[in-house]
Chain A
Amino acid sequence: MESQIRCKVFPGQFSNEYAVKAEEIGGESFSLFAPIQAVETDENPTRDKAVDGWLKVTIWEQTGDKVIVKLPRESFESGRFVTMSVTQLKTRPEPLKASR
């Protein structure tokens, strides 16, 4: 299931990417270069001004109020998977239902 997490967005090293920064559940930050298609922003970031945005992620596993998400690219600090709070997601995952 796809979702989005809040992030700070800065221009990347190439025109087809953004430098993105976000926080894990414990407050530790991580950063990555994400394809521009994986980032939503209301305005374009500039070298002088980072902007708020949403980074597309894939929900890997949810346990209680914690969720492991897969990032669109590997982060420098935390690898490809990071743990977030479900409250950090733009679209909260539906609770699992037992099938009959």
Chain B
Amino acid sequence: MILSNIEMQRAMAEGRLIIEPQPLPLLPTEGQKCPYDTHAVNLRLSEELSVPMSGPFTFDLMGGADFSEFLSRNSEKTTIQATGYALDKGKFVLGRTMEYINLPVDHPINREEKVCLAARIEGRSSIARCGVLVHFTAPTVHPGFEGTLTLEIINMGPASFMLRPGMPIAQLIIEEVKGIPFEKTDTTFKGQTSPEGRVKERKPKSTRSK
């Protein structure tokens, strides 16, 4: 189930969804752009970009275990100036959101209702019309995630595209997940086969060895 903007804000008030800084204003307000659409909220581009370098190498995920270091070594961090960063056509960079996202699984309401929240990051049509993708392949934000969201930005359009810090770059859609996943941070629900977790699997006290 996808949350409406009102349910999204309710989840934020309850602490089941944390977006920092909180997108404001919560409602349409004169003179301010409201970041909430019917069932999505806009996220903004951070000033930090990671620009992959080209070279005589091949990305090989199965070729060894220094892949994260390899990616870092072959990319340059850069800061978007106030004047913007012109993303040339055909170029690819990594960006990240200004907003920190947290989808805590271990929350009283989640425990009581046997649900948790996940999210999906999507592009914005205005940017897509310029031929720019702001994410591809990896839109899913899993329950329990906390951090900023990495954006895979590529310009497939016919002209350069200006990236500016703070620009609304993507939209976040919040979904309710039925059940508590086993990836929960503690082992309360580990091995669960029912919504109640492992409770029903426990042996009666009298049969336990001392």
Digitize A49-80: 1 where CB-to-B-CB distance is under 8 Å, 0 elsewhere.
01000000010110000000010000011001
7 tightest CB-CB pairs across the interface, nearest first?
A29-B65, A19-B68, A13-B50, A31-B68, A76-B67, A10-B69, A19-B72
Task: For the complex, give the distance between the alpha carbons of A32 and B75 in Å.
Answer: 16
Give the tally of cross-chain contacts (CB within 8 A).
79
User: What is the total number of residues of chain B having a CB less than 8 Å from a CB of chain A?
Assistant: 30
DSSP class of B's interface residues: helix, strand, loop or mixed? mixed
> Contact residues of A with B, CB < 8 Å?
1, 8, 10-16, 19-21, 28-33, 35, 47, 50, 58, 60-61, 70, 76-77, 80, 98-100
> Contact residues of B with A, CB < 8 Å?
48, 50, 61-62, 64-69, 71-73, 75, 77, 94, 96, 146-148, 150, 183, 185-187, 190, 205, 208-210
Assess the B61–A10 pair: CB atoms within 8 A. no
Task: For the complex, give the distance between the alpha carbons of A28 and B65 in Å.
Answer: 8
Looking at the assembled complex, report how far the CB atom of A15 sits from the nearest CB atom of chain B, in whole angstroms.
6
Task: For the complex, give the distance between the alpha carbons of A28 and B190 in Å.
Answer: 26
Q: Which residues of A contact B66 (CB under 8 A)?
A: 21, 29, 31
Task: For the complex, give the distance between the alpha carbons of A15 and B68 in Å.
Answer: 14
Task: For the complex, give the distance between the alpha carbons of A82 and B69 in Å.
Answer: 19
Looking at the assembled complex, report how far the CB atom of B35 sits from the nearest CB atom of chain A, in whole angstroms.
22
B50, B68, B73, B146: the one within 8 Å of A47 (CB): B73
Residue of B nearest to A78 (CB): B65
Looking at the assembled complex, report how far the CB atom of B98 sits from the nearest CB atom of chain A, in whole angstroms.
11
